[in-house]
Amino acid sequence: MTFSVTILGSSSALPTSTRFPSAHVLNAHERLFLIDCAEGTQMQLRQMRIKMSKISNIFISHRHGDHTLGLVGLISTLNLIGRKSDLHIYAPAELEENLTCNLTFFIEDLTFKVIFHAIEPNKHQVIYDDGKITVESLPLRHRVPTSGFLFREKRNLPNIRKELIEKYSLTLAEISAIKHGNDFNNSDGLVVPNCEFTYYASEPRSYAYCSDTLYSERLVGLLKDVDLLYHEATFANEDLKLAKLTGHSTAGQAATIAKKSGAKRLIIGHFSSRYKSVEPLLNEAKLIFEDTIAVEDGQIFDVPVKRNG
Which of 17, 169, 187, 308 binds a copy of itself (CB under 8 A)? It is 17
Going by C-alpha positions, the residue among 155, 152, 174, 153 that lies closest to residue 165 is 174
Which of 30, 51, 81, 277 binds a copy of itself (CB under 8 A)? It is 81
C-beta of residue 177 within 8 angstroms of C-beta of residue 183: no
What is the distance, to the nearest Å, from the Cα of residue 215 to the centroid of all Cα atoms in its chain? 19
Does position 14 interact with a copy of itself (CB under 8 A)? The reply is yes
**Cα 63-69-70 angle, rounded to 5 deg:** 130
Helix (H, G, I), strand (E, B), or coil: what is residue 49? coil
Does position 63 interact with a copy of itself (CB under 8 A)? The reply is yes
Does position 139 interact with a copy of itself (CB under 8 A)? The reply is no
Which DSSP symbol is given to 204? P
What stretch of H or E contains 133?
Answer: strand 133-139
Does position 239 interact with a copy of itself (CB under 8 A)? The reply is no
65-to-7, 35, 71, 125 alpha-carbon distances in Å: 18, 14, 10, 25
The least CB distance from residue 250 to a copy of itself, in Å, is 20
Helix (H, G, I), strand (E, B), or coil: what is residue 280? helix
The least CB distance from residue 124 to a copy of itself, in Å, is 27
The least CB distance from residue 73 to a copy of itself, in Å, is 4
The least CB distance from residue 11 to a copy of itself, in Å, is 10
Does position 169 interact with a copy of itself (CB under 8 A)? The reply is no
Going by C-alpha positions, the residue among 167, 127, 172 that lies closest to residue 151 is 127
Which of 4, 31, 56, 69 binds a copy of itself (CB under 8 A)? It is 69
Stretch that binds a copy of itself, among 45-53, 164-172, 186-194, 274-282 (CB under 8 A): 45-53
The least CB distance from residue 127 to a copy of itself, in Å, is 23
Does position 245 interact with a copy of itself (CB under 8 A)? The reply is no
C-beta of residue 285 within 8 angstroms of C-beta of residue 296: no
Stretch that binds a copy of itself, among 41-49, 164-172, 180-188, 251-259 (CB under 8 A): 41-49
Binding mask 83-112 for a copy of itself (x = CB under 8 A): ---------------x--xx--xxx-----
- Could you give the CA distance from residue 74 to residue 39 in angstroms, rounded to a whole number? 9
Q: Which residues are catalytic?
A: 66
